[in-house]
């Protein structure tokens, strides 16, 4: 009889221990998948981050409201960058529609933003970009459309965001036309590349942003 009671007590204690262990495990932060960091720091890549990782160099452009815009305004935020032009009838409409999908997914989170650079600054004036932003219901402060000197923008696309493999100097006959998006972390490092015309790739981008938020200690909505 005593032996049966001892067995029952042991089973009860085991159940209690397992319940406590289960509760403790449930309180732990969910594990996240660490995204790769792309590129090695080069001689001209001077922005401070960590180790030898490539980071986005400092830039100064103009946004859709005619305000000066630098990448210091992106420090501490996760963002998605692309290069487009408003009059494009080829890949840009598909790219913008896919970017809008991601934008809507993370619109409520103040730590996430979107940056679209025009590759046709002679036609994509501030007024043109403002109209384009309005057409796509892009909230100012959340989704920026940037213009500036062509040479500066093309240098960014090639040397900072690593989104174009073509060579050029941003001159009259130079042209960058890439469908790729870049995912940038809070330190200005590149954490992913995605085909902006491919919905499956954009599904992956949406998930990767979520993982990067966990890594950065951000909540799902802020």
- Tell me which DSSP letter residue 3 carries: H
Assess whether 162 and 85 both reside in one domain. Answer: yes
Q: What is the pLDDT of residues 57-78, one digit of tens each?
A: 999 999 999 999 999 999 999 9
Domain span at 3? 1-30
Average pLDDT over residues 116-134: 97
For residue 205, which phi and psi values (nearest 5 degrees)?
A: -60, -45
Please give the Cα distance from 40 to 156 (Å, whole number). 16
- Indicate yes or no: pTM above 0.85: no
Please give the Cα distance from 199 to 57 (Å, whole number). 29
Q: Any bridge partners for residue 189, and if so which?
A: 55
- Residue 178, CB-side half-sphere exposure with 13 Å CA sphere: 23
Determine whether 221 is exposed, middle or buried from the number of CB atoms within 10 Å of its CB (0-12, 13-18, 19+).
exposed
Assess whether 87 and 192 both reside in one domain. Answer: yes
Question: Is 45 within the bounds of a domain?
Answer: no
Question: Is 156 within the bounds of a domain?
Answer: yes
Question: Is 38 within the bounds of a domain?
Answer: no
pLDDT at 23: 45
């Amino acid at each position: 009889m005593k032996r049966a009671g001892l067995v029952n007590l042991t089973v009860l204690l085991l159940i209690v221990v397992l319940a406590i262990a289960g509760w403790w495990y449930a309180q732990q932060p969910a594990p996240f998948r660490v995204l790769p960091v792309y590129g090695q720091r080069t001689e001209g890549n001077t922005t401070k981050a960590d180790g030898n990782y490539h980071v986005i160099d400092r830039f100064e452009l103009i946004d859709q409201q005619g305000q000066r815009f630098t990448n210091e305004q992106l420090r501490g935020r996760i963002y998605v960058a692309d290069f487009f032009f408003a009059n494009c009838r080829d890949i840009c409409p598909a790219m913008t529609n896919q970017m809008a999908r991601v934008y809507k997914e993370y619109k409520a989170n103040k730590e996430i933003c979107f940056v679209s650079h025009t590759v046709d600054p002679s036609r994509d004036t501030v007024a043109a970009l403002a109209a384009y932003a309005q057409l796509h219901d892009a909230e100012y402060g959340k989704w920026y459309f940037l213009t500036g000197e062509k040479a500066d923008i093309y240098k960014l696309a090639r040397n900072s965001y690593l989104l174009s493999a073509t060579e050029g100097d941003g001159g009259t006959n130079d042209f960058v036309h890439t469908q790729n998006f870049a995912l940038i972390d809070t330190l200005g490092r590149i954490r992913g590349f995605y085909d902006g015309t491919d919905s499956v790739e954009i599904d992956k981008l949406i998930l990767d942003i979520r993982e990067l938020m966990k890594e950065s200690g951000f909540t799902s909505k802020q």
